[in-house]
Amino acid sequence: MVTVNENFAKLPGSYLFAAVAKKVAAYKETHPESEIIRLGIGDVTQPIAPAIVEAMHKAVEEMGHAETFRGYAPEQGYAFLREAVAEHDFKARGCDIAADEIFISDGAKCDSGNIQELFSLNNIAAVCDPVYPVYVDSNVMAGRTGDYRAATGRFDRVVYMPCREENGFLPELPAEKADVIYLCFPNNPTGEAIKKAELQKWVDYANAHGAVIIFDAAYEAYITEGGIPHSIYECEGAESCAIELRSFSKKAGFTGVRLAFTVIPKELKADGVSLNELWLRRQGSKYNGAPYIVQRAGEAVYSAEGKVQVAEQIARYMENAGVILNGLRSMGYTAFGGVNSPYIWLKTPNGMKSWDFFDLLLERAGVIGTPGVGFGPSGEGYFRLTAFGTYENSQKALDRIKKM
């Protein structure tokens, strides 16, 4: 008789954003006339930049002619895109990352969930708290964690590193054993960033303890301040201890196109085994590559026109972030993020529970955000808003919140 993977049963309830969608659907059913402003899920709203659309059109045309038709893509990605990534995202910042250390994929969410396959089930994962749910969920599904403890909101055999207001929403180096360390900066959900000197401490720790850092830099394009690293490889020694995840979703509006990449330096080894070679082997067995048309679109992000157009889009989102952050503060709310990230991390008023504030905001303002506790127990009492709406809706949301 067939049996199921019992580790799935450890996961509590539904995925965070599915739970949000279910609540919103129930509200819409009883309030069909309500105009809802969605500032919850981090989905972009601006159309793909013209230079990128032009590149996609050209690639589509190529697919219609025998002499330029492309079939399966190389599992590591086409050289033209990997070389553009290496040049513009890394060499331009003084990082010695080669094209054969870059793996093109169809999304950073997939990579952040799949990367754990490289590591033994005996390894202990360490995560920030609050945290992007995929890091924890994927390790639970694999069987690397213990049981879920509803009283604490945590899983056994996972090291949680609280990120709270009193420590600037930056995790502290773990005192207990941690083998695979997940870091996301600029951070989702808190919107806060890490200085290079602080990140260097994590690199030094990982090298000293034989740990591997999974560094999620999906939001690096939103950094506006100096002294904030765009890549972990700006830190000395990171090539021997860190894997970096990148995404085109937020950088270039590819949430509906799907493109990302993972960087695994050839210098990075575990048990004397090259993780670069392991990931290449894994991808060869489980992945057929991102489509040619999409990879040409990714290449256009690095063109002269593409860079300008993408930067303009990001600037518009960051204008929204400033409007939301400053607007909330002017109303007396305590809020963070929104300077190096498109996320604003709002402290709920009067110690209100995160889901209670979600209900209040939905019912009295018609505004959707994301309850902080959905990202982990240290997120209780906080609420995430995104800057990915339109400027008009961002302003309208603030007006409604002010009238509550």
**Radius of gyration (Cα) for the chain, nearest Å?**
21
Q: What is the pTM of this model?
A: 0.96
> Looking at the domain covering 10-47+306-402, what would its CATH class be?
alpha beta
Every domain of the chain with CATH number 3.90.1150.10 lies at 10-47+306-402
Question: Residue 338: CB partners within 8 Å, gap ≥ 6?
Answer: 191, 321, 322, 324, 325, 344, 387
State the maximum Cα–Cα separation within the chain, in Å, rounded to a whole number.
Answer: 66
Cα–Cα distance for residue pair 123/133, rounded to 1 Å:
19
Cα–Cα distance for residue pair 345/325, rounded to 1 Å:
9
The CATH architecture that domain 53-303 belongs to is: 3-Layer(aba) Sandwich (3.40)
**Are the CB atoms for 223 and 190 separated by under 8 Å?**
no
Q: What is the chain's percent helix, strand, coil content, to nearest 5?
A: 45, 15, 40
The H-or-E segment that residue 137 falls in is helix 133-142
**Are the CB atoms for 239 and 207 separated by under 8 Å?**
no
Question: Is it true that the peptide bond before 133 is cis, omega within 30 degrees of 0?
Answer: no
Every domain of the chain with CATH number 3.40.640.10 lies at 53-303
Cα–Cα distance for residue pair 184/224, rounded to 1 Å:
17
Per-residue tens of pLDDT for the chain, all 404 residues:
999 999 999 998 777 878 888 888 888 888 888 899 999 888 999 999 999 999 999 999 999 999 999 999 999 999 999 999 999 999 999 999 999 999 999 999 999 999 999 999 999 999 999 999 999 999 999 999 999 999 999 999 999 999 999 999 999 999 999 999 999 999 999 999 999 999 999 999 999 999 999 999 999 999 999 999 999 999 999 999 999 999 999 999 999 999 999 999 999 999 999 999 999 999 999 999 999 999 999 999 999 999 999 999 999 999 999 999 999 999 999 999 999 999 999 999 999 999 999 999 999 999 999 999 999 999 999 999 999 999 999 999 999 999 98
Q: How many degrees, rounded to 5, is the angle at CA 186 between CA 181 and CA 188?
A: 75
